[in-house]
Structure 1
């Protein structure tokens, strides 16, 4: 069967999915909506205004598979509209999307099903928030309830700053309506992992664990961002730890969703904190997302040996257990190259200059870019990703930073220490 595939979204995640699909001879045409200046070179971009407008364009272009990238489209219910129109779509329902759409709902839900997580309160009352904060030791974790493009989490050791952030969220000054309910959590220290489950509503398969780097600056300093880099596979996530993640976190969550008549179909992304409890690695759930992570997707896609088309089809048919999901025995590391003002404000557009690089090292992923007069322009916060591929993580890291030398634009910033624990792991 030949495929014309639409990828919804405009970031690096969507570009990375497109690059993987292009390797499949069954993929005859790629479309992106709305796409970016990079996806323009590997497929066809188009925009849409309403669900009906999208459906009509899908039908016009004879698109026979839709893959949803960002969470906003899931929360908006696009997958439900497409399914009602008889269009095959890879992405969970709006109802299941609430696991990411509301942090308060997610915390209440996983508490009901005894998934290990940090102690917390969810409230719209500043007095209650302040009282709970007084029971915690620093640092303090404050989360806006709704979607905030990866920027709705504040972690600070300053109590006054924490209280000010709560006040700004509840008033709507910070994050608008998305922050008018807050979740305040106990801070969990440990090693953070990103774990993805491909779910078909009945069964699931876990993908290799990744590690994201959320902080803006080297040595994990500065504000939280949407992610400044990632690598896979994470070598300290052994089989025993993965079994614990499956049995204590993923399985009870999916069982709970089914029990509440809300089966999950698509990618369930678990943000995990691994803590040392009496000499044992124990996983705690930090958050759920209902799609591939960004930048984790950019390191998983080049390692994925099984065609993504087969994975999507198996989920749609509720036959995920019939597909053997395999990965190449290599490693990938991605470094995000961001604009000068990220994540604070939008920077002025800047022309990007590219020089030749050895493509055996890896590749560049295009994210916050547009095309103007045949020039690539940095217009977003996270602009590009340099993805290094190698026989091990050390080589992948070296390759990613080698590729960066071929990229230049005014104000570009990136972390110099993505994978800073790799040297001790790869000895």
Structure 2
């Protein structure tokens, strides 16, 4: 009996790919795909001024606009980068029209869209997580907060771009946070329901599983740095840097994460009729060697995506196809040896508000050290014909770029090397080559592992 190879047809045709999103994650996805000779054209919606150097940016504000463009242009694959499009049901609308899509359904995306749903779901599956209450009743929330030891964690249930978590250091701060969230002052509708939970003391890991609804494959563990300042001080952000693989996660711990968190999640989602397909991102707190689930995201993390993809050897297109055909368990997903460190360069008002756009100056650097991922950048007389050349070898590359630093997280300096210490060193060499007024960065990315 002849066995059908699901990858066979994939290698025979050229593909047009649309990436949905506008951040550093989407730039990293595009940069990875540009190295695949099967990619005929690359589109982004809305993209940023950096992704315009990789492909074509489009203004497609509504799901229906995206669907119609894909049908008209003959798009082979849509890769959805951000959570809001997934929670908004874009993947369902695309699949209903026969368009291949990488990303979970609207129902499965509730694992990130509603922290209240997520906590109730994982509790029902027996997945280890912090003690919690989810409620819209301020008094119930305050009473539960008072029953916990300090500090107390308070989360807006809805989407908040990674900023909806407050760690209250006193009961008075907890109560004022509860009032601000539930009144809509802090996070609007996203805070109409909140989760109050115990604070777990340990160290965090970001672990990603490529899932096809039935099976999953875990990627190398990462560690994000969410607080704005060195030493994990200051407010939470979307992430100020990351590195992979983390030596703080050995094979035994990774197996615990697989068996205690990912396996029951996929089984539970399939049982409720909402199988999970795509990237499942588990935020893990390791307490005395045991993993506890902090949260789920339903897409690649940002900035974790930017440090995983430079090491990924298996083409992303093959991964997308294996997920769609429910054969992820049969696809070897391989990574090159070494480490990758990403340092976020943010604007001076991040994460509190927008900043005045300023020109970016980039000094030449040796491309064997790594590269830049563009995020919060806008055009400043961009020459759209200038494409990124990722095959420069070891020569000095002048990335002097007609871009403006206009967003919160402006760019990431990505360093790659055989050792973690060298990868960090390379990342900061590149970070120091990038200049714009008000640049903010942490200088301790990967130090937890290096000092361990």
Structure 1-normalised TM-score? 0.97
Distance in 1 (alpha carbons) for counterparts of 2:99 and 2:45: 16
* Structure-1 residue corresponding to 2:433: 406
Distance 2:251 2:61 in 1: 45
The answer to whether the Cα contact below 8 Å between 1:394 and 1:422 also exists between their aligned partners in 2 is: no
| Deviation for aligned residue 1:322 | 1.6
CA contact (8 A) 2:142 2:174 kept: no
Q: Please report how far the alpha carbon of residue 60 of structure 1 lies from its aligned counterpart in structure 2 after TM superposition.
A: 2.4
1:141 to 120, 140, 153: 153
CA distance, structure 2, for counterparts of residue 51 and residue 409 of structure 1: 35
Indicate the residue corresponding to 2:83 in structure 1: 71
The superposition leaves residues 234-288 of structure 1 with CA deviations (integer Å, 9 ceiling, x where unpaired) of 0121111011001111101111111111100000000000110xxxx11000000
The answer to whether the aligner puts 1:340 opposite 2:348 as a matched pair is: yes
2:74 to 44, 58, 62: 62
The residue number in structure 1 matching 2:285 is: 273
List aligned pairs for 1:34-183, cutoff 5 A.
34-183=46-195
Q: Which stretch of structure 1 is more off in the superposition, 158-167 or 221-230?
A: 158-167
Asked if 1:8 is matched to 2:4, the reply is no
**C-alpha deviations, 1:368-405, integer Å up to 9, x for none?**
00112232011110010000000011010000000011
- Pick one of 408, 420, 424 that aligns with 1:381: 408
CA–CA distance in 2 between the matches of 1:164 and 1:290? Answer: 30
Shift of 1:59: 2.1
Contact 2:246–2:449 under 8 Å retained in 1: no
1:85-112 deviations in whole A, cap 9, x for unaligned? 1100000000000000000000000000
1:17 corresponds to: 29
| 1:139-160 residue CA offsets vs partner (Å, 9 max, x unmatched) | 1110000000111001121322
1:421 deviation in Å?
2.1
State how far apart, in whole Å, the 2-side matches of 1:168 and 1:17 are. 37
Partner residue in 2 for 1:197: 209
Distance 1:404 1:236 in 2: 25
In the alignment, the residues of structure 1 paired with residue 185 and residue 329 of structure 2 have an alpha-carbon distance, to the nearest angstrom, of: 47
Structure 1, unaligned runs of 5 or more: none
Match of 1:371 in 2: 379
151-160 vs 220-229, greater mean Cα deviation: 151-160
State the 1:350 CA deviation: 1.1
SS at match of 1:256: helix
Summarize deviations over 1:275-316 as a string: whole Å, max 9, x none. 10xxxx110000000000000000000000000000000001
Partners of 2:213 and 2:231 in 1: CA distance = 40
Residue 364 of structure 2 corresponds to which residue in structure 1? Answer: 356
SS in 2 for 1:60: helix
- Between the aligned partners of 1:423 and 1:317, the Cα distance in structure 2 is 40
SS in structure 2 at match of 1:345: coil
Question: What are the superposed Cα offsets for residues 154-205 of structure 1, whole Å, 9 maximum, x if unpaired?
Answer: 1121322221111011001111111011100100011100000100011111
Distance in 2 separating the partners of 1:167 and 1:10: 33
C-alpha distance in structure 1 between counterparts of 2:322 and 2:67, whole Å:
23
Hey, what does 1:215 align to over in structure 2? 227
Contact 2:247 2:449 in 1 (8 A): no
Which stretch shows the higher mean deviation, 301-310 or 344-353?
A: 344-353
Distance in 1, matches of 2:178 and 2:90, equals: 32
Q: How does 1:178-327 map to 2 (within 5 A)?
A: 178-276=190-288, 281-327=289-335
Shift of 1:71: 0.3
The answer to whether the 8 A contact 2:239-2:303 is kept is yes
Shift of 1:29: 1.1
**Partner Cα distance (1:348, 1:44) in 2:** 26
Aligned residues between the structures: 421
- For residues 161 and 385 of structure 1, the distance between their equivalents in structure 2, rounded to whole angstroms, comes to 33
Deviations 1:29-64 (A, max 9, x none): 110000000000000000113222111111222211
State the distance in 2 between where 1:379 and 1:418 align: 23
Q: Does the CA-based 8 Å contact 1:172-1:180 persist in structure 2?
A: yes
Do 1:38 and 1:369's aligned partners in 2 also have CA atoms closer than 8 Å? yes
Structure 2 equivalent of residue 33 of structure 1: 45
CA RMSD of aligned residues (A): 0.8
> Normalising to structure 2: TM-score of the pair?
0.92
Match of 2:339 among 326, 331, 334: 331
* Distance of 1:180 and 1:62 partners within structure 2: 41
- In terms of mean alpha carbon deviation, does 60-69 or 406-415 score higher? 60-69
Question: Separation in 2 of the partners of 1:271 and 1:405?
Answer: 30
Distance in 2, matches of 1:57 and 1:291, equals: 23
